[in-house]
Amino acid sequence: MPSYTPPLRDMQFVMHELLHVVDELQTLPAHADLDVETINAVLEEGGKFASEVLFPLNMSGDEEGCHLDPVSHKVTTPKGFKEAYAQYVAGGWPALSSDPAYGGQGLPLVVNQFFYEMLNSANQAWTMYPGLTHGAYASLATHGTDTQKAIYLEKMVSGQWTGTMCLTEPHCGTDLGLMRTRAEAQPDGSYRITGNKIFISAGEHDMAENIVHLVLARLSDAPPGIKGVSLFIVPKFLVNADGSLGERNGIYCGGLEHKMGIKGSATCQMVLDGAVGTLVGAPNKGMNGMFVMMNAARLGVGNQSLGLTEVAYQNALAYAKDRIQMRSLSGTKAKDKAADPIIVHPDVRKMLLTAKAYAEGGRALQAFGTMLLQKEHSHPDEQVRKDAGEMLALLTPIVKAFITDNGWIATSGCLQVFGGHGFIKEWGMEQYVRDARINMIYEGTNTIQSLDLLGRKILGNNGATLRKFGKLVMDLAQAEASNEAMKPFITPVAELGQQMTQFTMDIAMKGMQNPDEVGAAAVDYLRVAGHWVFGYFWARMAQVALREIAAGNTDPFYQAKLQTARFYFAKLFPETTSLMQTARQGSSVLMDTEAALA
């Protein structure tokens, strides 16, 4: 059976030693009184909830799955899920980082993000039920009317009601301009919405008394394509004027998807049969509100794979220390045993260190991105808000795609550490691999993220934001130019930064002649950019570790951080060389292939 220990020490390192989040947050009026002790105490309790309440339900939830009653259209979640959600609500966890105006606790977003990393490690399928509510809350808080906010937000913040987003239809996934769900205006100002949605996570369940669906649909006079999409609130139960629940609305689950992973999460086919909805924002401007939720979800999906990478690593490490198999190539290490523990073998260590490097690099990037999101929404300086939003827009596709690609690599490698036992259900590793696979697909496939990064976020503004990130790299390199101990960490990142300019220009020039060149290079390009960003944070983490060691700190944590940094730059970062080569090979070997694909 697997186990899980919340990585509180590394979270504290990222927050307090690497990013100094309390100092940053105290400049914001809402967090002027924040202190380190409060953050640490909250996350310690959150870790207990994750490891003691959710983690024991992970394997059983996967085995049992969800069940749909075809007559009542009710979905029953796995045994223990509903009770765990009640504990989650009773503990005040849904309100952690929400606005106090709606009953929230007003803690920083970074605290909520680390809490959710632990929830994802413990039980990703369960975490999707409350997780989607945060995005729906953010969308309504930004684009909802005062009346809509008064009706919905307090109960979503408390956890009494949950939320979803209903985008995808059977004939269209990412291309939302093709959607057919229609909305007909009613005399009372509401709308009747009819259509079908698929792949709706937490679309129906038994954990909360109401579900607030955010639905994309087309008005009867809407222009074609994405410019004709509107956003609507469609609750499972209609809400009376006094806030009580009214009659059942015409939105229901018509079927459950039978999936490879996250089986404890209800992925629903939703039918809208004249369901009553209210418009969010302006007509035909629905993507404005939905993108608030989608961008939050993309950061959240990266966090899902981060959580899986961490828990898979912990279990593979424990197994590698215990499992004996063959002798070390360099001589017997465990003379009292019939064979050596497999952790002595170089390739086993490579798989373990790969997962560790991707988990710790991803944790630093997630925290940095979440701090940008906090500044974008609540910093008193308009220019700081603008700069933070611009940098976050650049990093969001990297968070989503690079961390989830790495999660697939890491969970697969950790399964491999177990050998044949990894393929057997009772050890829990095959579930992490199956669960991790969806994260590369939903909320915009990783190819879509790559096209977004290269086509819109970089070429779309002639590399201006990329150069701003490059300045962070160069500032670090210049600050440590005379520090010999930092050269193994600084030199690769600085050199790649110099190469990124020409690399980007090469793809841009080809793309001007043939847009397929951008499509052919985008996935490789994002992975290069992802390593550049990870390399920057690994260099900064090495900087902190070296500083502590030089000051006489004997905590082995810092030696471990340095050793992991050395591994990352020696064994993982060099992938960028081959990726730049393949990205430059162009589109012809992909597109001029009629015979090969006949």
DSSP per-residue string spanning 127-164 = HHHHHHHHHHHHHHHHH--HHHHHHHHHHHHHTSEEEE
User: Tokens 């193994």 identify what position?
Assistant: 488
> What does the domain layout of the chain look like in residue ranges?
8-143, 162-285, 457-592
Rounded-to-integer distance, Cα 25 and Cα 335, Å: 53
Active site residues: 443
**How many residues are listed for the chain in this entry?**
598
- The tally of CA atoms less than 13 A away on the side-chain side of residue 219 is 21
Taking 90 as the threshold, does the pLDDT of residue 513 lie above it? yes
Q: What is the pLDDT of residues 222-269, one digit of tens each?
A: 999 999 999 999 999 999 989 999 999 999 999 999 999 999 999 999
Structure-block tokens of residue 165: 């987003």
* CATH of 162-285 among 3.90.950.10, 3.30.300.30, 3.30.420.610, 2.40.110.20: 2.40.110.20
Instruction: Look up residue 220 and give its DSSP letter.
Output: T
Q: Beta partners for 201?
A: 267
Q: With cut-offs at 50, 70 and 90, classify the pLDDT of residue 520.
A: very high
Does the reported pTM lie above 0.85?
A: yes
Kindly list the distances between the CA atom of residue 519 and the CA atoms of 66, 394, 433, 442, 456, in Å, as whole numbers in the listed order: 38, 18, 28, 19, 12
Q: With cut-offs at 50, 70 and 90, classify the pLDDT of residue 342.
A: very high
The CATH number given to 8-143 is 1.10.540.10
The average confidence (pLDDT) of the chain is 97
Q: With cut-offs at 50, 70 and 90, classify the pLDDT of residue 79.
A: very high
pLDDT value of position 415: 98
User: Tokens 């018509």 identify what position?
Assistant: 254
